[in-house]
Amino acid sequence: MWSIEAAEPAVIPARPEAPAPLSTTAQEAGAATPAPASPHSFSGGVGIRVRGGESALDLVGEYHYRVNETLDVGGIVDWAWSPIDSLLIAPAAWLHPSDRLTLFAAPGVEFISGKGGEGALRLGGSYTIPLGRAAIRPFGWYDFVADRKDSLSFGIAVGI
């Protein structure tokens, strides 16, 4: 009598996949593509402003529009409480020399209580510490004001 026994299947080693060409996008390579990040961002911060021996609580709000990886444009609104009592409004440009370091310049107008508006130039920087979709940014800047009432500010901002 004849019997047929099943033989063990031959094991063929798997062929390693060739690396994707450099021009292949993540989607072509089968990776999930992340949703594009919004070019718009907002931040708010609190700090201390020092001017001529006086110091005051400083509240700042910023709007950023990301032009490219190294440049944002937008605006700043900043209020310093008594005894400084001033409001600064300025368009701004932010330069990102690295992923976390930001430098900026903002020429604008500072309205000082009882004096009206004065030309101002704010120069400063911040360091971004990412926290998921948000970030914490310690900041510092110097305001050059036309009436020679320059000031120094430092604090912390939270952005989304």
Closest CA to 105 of 120, 118, 117, 116: 120
pTM over 0.85: no
| Helix, strand or coil, per DSSP, at residue 107 | strand
pLDDT-derived band at 34, boundaries 50, 70, 90: low
CA gap 119, 126 in Å, rounded: 23
Mean pLDDT of the chain: 85
Pairing of strands 40-51, 151-159: antiparallel
Work out how many domains the chain is built from and give that number: 1
Q: Which domain holds residue 73?
A: 40-159
pLDDT single digits (tens) 107-133:
999 998 888 899 999 999 999 999 988
CATH number of the structural domain spanning residue 75: 2.40.160.20
Model confidence at 145: pLDDT above 80: yes
